[in-house]
């Protein structure tokens, strides 16, 4: 699948920086410096929405559990099905990682 890349050297540099992080503690340190608490919470919420959609949960269940609006849930669902496959890539790896921990 061809990924549509935003042609922006600043975004490239941001992603390169993220790839240099070695563990969860370093991720916390970097993201707490570069993002507001609200931005971090919004990204975490979208990931949780994606997880719950993949589990087959209803919009009502997801909204109640995460506090996400139906517009956010719908947007995440659209990207799960028609996006660049980034959510699916990460969700598969998270699932694989969790299975290896058990």
Question: Is pLDDT at 41 greater than 90 in this prediction?
Answer: yes
What are the extents of the domains in the chain?
A: 1-34, 36-101
Superfamily of domain 36-101: TrpR-like (1.10.1270.10)
CB distance 72 to 45 below 8 Å: yes
Global pTM reads 0.88
The full DSSP string for 16-63 is: HHHHT--SHHHHHHHHHHHS-HHHHHHHHHHHHHHHHHHTT--HHHHH
CB distance 63 to 73 below 8 Å: yes
Report, as an integer, the average pLDDT of 75-81.
96
CB distance 50 to 73 below 8 Å: no
Question: Is pLDDT at 59 greater than 70 in this prediction?
Answer: yes
Average pLDDT of the residues of the chain: 94
- pLDDT tier for residue 74 given thresholds of 50, 70 and 90: very high
């Amino acid at each position: 699948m061809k990924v549509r890349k935003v042609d922006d050297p600043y975004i490239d540099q941001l992603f390169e920086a993220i790839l240099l992080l070695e563990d969860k503690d370093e991720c916390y340190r970097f993201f707490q410096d570069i993002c507001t608490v609200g931005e971090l919470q919004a990204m975490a919420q979208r990931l949780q929405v994606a997880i719950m959609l993949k589990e087959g949960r209803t919009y009502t269940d997801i909204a109640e559990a995460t506090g996400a609006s139906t517009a956010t849930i719908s947007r995440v669902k659209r990207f799960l099905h028609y996006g660049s496959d980034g959510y699916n890539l990460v969700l598969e790896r998270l699932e694989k990682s969790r299975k290896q921990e058990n």
